[in-house]
Structure 1
Amino acid sequence: MKKLMLGFIGALLAACATERNGPSVPDEAMVDASGESAVTLQRGRAVYMSDCARCHDAKMPKEISSEDWHVILPGMAWNAGISKADEDAVEAYIKAVLAQ
């Protein structure tokens, strides 16, 4: 039990630190606003942070308009070689951030 609690606290602290240094960490409000599952939004953020940041700085989702994301995302997903499922998760994540 103690190890589980320490692991939870560590994960919580890491999430808080990441929030200041990168795009929003999916939370309950994002899930409610987007209608997507927490798992989908978490996967979308993970792909966004790992695959997008491989080639360039990952832009904060709100730095780019929703209209521009519709053009940018398919091309970048193709360039990064990510699966359609991962592209869909990234799109869901971006939409959830923009809905905040």
Structure 2
Amino acid sequence: MKAKILILTAVTLLLVSCGTKKSVPAVAATPTVTETKATELTPELAEGKNLYDNSCARCHKLYEPKKFSQEEWKPILTRMQKKAHLDDVQMASISNYITSQL
């Protein structure tokens, strides 16, 4: 009987110790310039983001605009325009959105 109580106590102690949430000191969340810039989109930039999200994600995963420089994006967008069947106005909108996020 004592062995069962000791085993039960040990199992309970193990479960409680594994299930406790460690407290992490809270860091004040202050928005940086890039976070603020990314959330405030004009209607034109929002349209570019929508086109980027919907047109490009059909074939591959989306890349963060900051992953490439503006010079690196130009040939990528040119090549993808043909594959996605986007006209020049739509492509300009996507390009403006990506440039605004750099």
Partner of 2:47: 43
Alignment of 1:58-97 (within 5 A): 58-97=62-101
Report the TM-score when normalising by structure 1: 0.61
Which AA in structure 1 matches 2:62? A
- 2:78 & 2:100 partners in 1: Cα distance? 17
In 2, Cα distance between the equivalents of 1:55 and 1:62?
20
Where do 5+ consecutive residues of structure 2 fail to align?
Answer: 1-37
CA distance in 1, matches of 2:80, 2:87: 12
Counterpart of 1:94 in 2: which secondary structure? helix
Runs of 4+ in 1 over 4 A off after TM superposition: none
CA-based RMSD of the aligned residues comes to 1.2
Identity in percent: 31
Q: Deviations over 1:60-86 (max 9, x none)?
A: 010112111011101101110012111
Report how many residues are paired. 65
Structure showing the higher helix proportion among its residues = 1
Q: TM-score, normalised by structure 2?
A: 0.60
Pair member with larger Rg: 2
Tell me the distance in 1 between the aligned counterparts of 2:82 and 2:65.
18
